Amino acid sequence: SQLILKDPSLLRQQAFINGEWVDADSGATFDVTNPATGEKIGVMPQMGAAETRRAIAAANDAWRQWRGKTAKERSGVLRRWHDLMLANADDLAQIMTAEQGKPLSEAKGEIGYAASFLEWFAEEGKRAGGDTIPSPSPTSRIVVIKEPIGVCAAITPWNFPSAMITRKVGPALAAGCPMVLKPAEATPFSALALAVLAQRAGVPAGVFSVITGSPQAIGGELTSNPIVRKLSFTGSTQVGRLLMQQCAPTIKKLSLELGGNAPFIVFDDADLDAAVEGAIASKYRNAGQTCVCANRIYVQDGVYEAFAQKLVAAVDRFKVGDGRQEGVTQGPLIDHKAVQKVESHIADAVAKGARVLIGGKRHALGQTFFEPTVLADVTAEMLVAKEETFGPMAPLFRFRTDEEVLAMANDTEYGLASYFYSRDIGRIWRVAEGLESGMVGINTGLISNEVAPFGGVKQSGLGREGSRYGIEDYQEVKYLCMGGI
Ligand code: ADP
């Protein structure tokens, strides 16, 4: 077959419920394919509500024992899981590239990034303690303790098949919560490989289960089952809205990491070479398929032509191809729908007066490969200004003043990431404070790491992942009032 692993047991074609490898009740499966070749990699069980209910019940049974362990014991398990991820990084990266398409070097980078959340929350779990508060009465004392929220559910996307899982499971398990996960249909093998390693690391049966199959049926059960106390979702704003609605009747806690429409602003005092490098990293990483990808690039009038030229020169050096090949910098898009979206954004922009500086069409390699593209003379009337392209296309807008660009940057329902390049300290503070987003990259195009809080404002979501704030999303605050003192 196309996948040669050092440890073939990492590739599973079954789901993982209550510590056991299982098929769907119906025996039905769905195919998982390699986007670079269109070839089938394998099958996964097509599960639904019944299997999900069993996983939730098993998590509930396992909860008492897991929350009863000391934070240090849970920390040890997470640390072993982290170590196993790194020890198996080559195989995990092979699996990811096969099902997701990103270049092998990026896949390996993601495995390290994904593992870092397990390491970080292994450490944070030991420090996630409570508080004492000076009492208003001389005869009482006030203590605040932190408790695990309970059985958690997670629904994750295909663009970061490992990291979006560990960023949720890490803090959940560290806080003492079990978790039931539904990974994306396109990338289940990465999720199940993580389950293999979790079991080897000593995660008890039921504490982490992975269910594959129908998003509607599994999602319906995860959001309506009263045992589930919290849902953490990463994906589109549209599905996030739906899940939030479905969680309303049982008042679940929610963490939502939804869509973005990141502005990337290049001021005339910027270091242009650095700005180009940042734009490349932010725009084209994972073929433009990240929720923090620069989606709208605003360039100040005086440096517009120079920036455009340098960006095109850099894009011209890309190597598009199968992610397993040496030197490839851009793999295929995830599916044909993704290609159609990029095409529709380009067609709409060009019809309204934008110029294609490089790329602009499907790649000669076929499948879902797309040419890295740069558009100039893009305006607020075009689709790309409003919607996330989620592909390798950089639209260049022109602006004159700081006020003008801040208004344009904030003219969106989204507020996840934003970026800008400037060397002026006053401007840096004004713009950083003026941007309506949860994260701001200043003179950098890469902002994600395990120690910093990742998350959005406005319709980009709720809650923060990673950092010392990330574990709070999996804890309840309990207030103890001790009287009669
Ligand atoms: P994307 O456009 O990145 O695929 P989605 O929001 O559609 O974003 O998908 C993210 C995750 O949400 C995936 O795991 C997908 O299966 C899941 N999903 C999609 N629709 C639903 C739904 N109606 N209920 C529950 N999960 C869903």
- Asked if pLDDT for residue 2 goes beyond 90, the answer is no
Question: Within 125-185, where are the H helices?
Answer: 163-175
Q: What is the pLDDT of residue 1?
A: 47
SS3 assignment for 320-363: ECCCCCCCCCECCCCCHHHHHHHHHHHHHHHHCCCEEEECCCEC
Catalytic sites, residue numbers: 257
The distance between the two most distant Cα atoms of the chain, rounded to a whole number of Å, is 79
Q: What is the pLDDT of residue 409?
A: 98
pLDDT digits (tens, 9 = 90+) for 226-265: 999 999 999 999 999 999 999 999 999 999 999 999 999 9
Length of the chain: 485
Q: Tell me what pLDDT residue 433 has.
A: 98
As a whole number, mean pLDDT of residues 36-48 equals: 97
Ligand 1, from 44, 190, 239: best to mutate by most atoms within 8 Å of Cβ? 239
Report the pocket of ligand 1 as residue ranges, CB < 6 Å: 155-157, 182, 184-185, 215-216, 219, 235-236, 239, 242
CA of 155, closest atom in ligand 1: 14
Say whether 90 sits in a helix, a strand or coil. Answer: helix
Question: What digits encode the pLDDT tens for the residues 418-468?
Answer: 999 999 999 999 999 999 999 999 999 999 999 999 999 999 999 999 999
What is the pLDDT of the chain when averaged over all its residues?
Answer: 97
State the ipTM, two decimals: 0.98
The CA distances from residue 368 to 108, 251, 322, 333, in Å, are: 22, 40, 11, 5
pLDDT in tens, 321-336: 999 999 999 999 999 9
Label residue 316 by pLDDT band (50, 70, 90).
very high
> Ligand 1, from 44, 52, 155, 333: best to mutate by most atoms within 8 Å of Cβ?
155
Per-residue model confidence (pLDDT) at position 156: 98
* Protein residue with least CA distance to atom 14, ligand 1: 184
Residues 39/42/48/54 CA torsion (nearest 10 deg): -160
Ligand 1 mean position to 114 CA, how many Å?
20
> pLDDT > 90: what percent of the chain?
99
How far away, in angstroms, is 154 Cα from ligand 1 center? 11
- Write down the pLDDT at residue 227: 98
Three-state secondary structure call for residue 122: helix
Nearest-CA residue for ligand 1 atom 21 is: 215
CA 294–ligand 1 middle distance (angstroms): 22
Distance 287 CA to ligand 1 centre (A): 20
pLDDT confidence tier of residue 347, bands split at 50, 70 and 90: very high
Ligand 1 centroid to Cα of residue 338, in Å, is 14
pLDDT tens track for 120-158: 999 999 999 999 999 999 999 999 999 999 999 999 999
For the CA of 222, the nearest atom of ligand 1: 25
Residue 379 CA to residue 401 CA, distance in Å, equals 16
Could you give the percent of the chain with pLDDT greater than 70?
A: 100
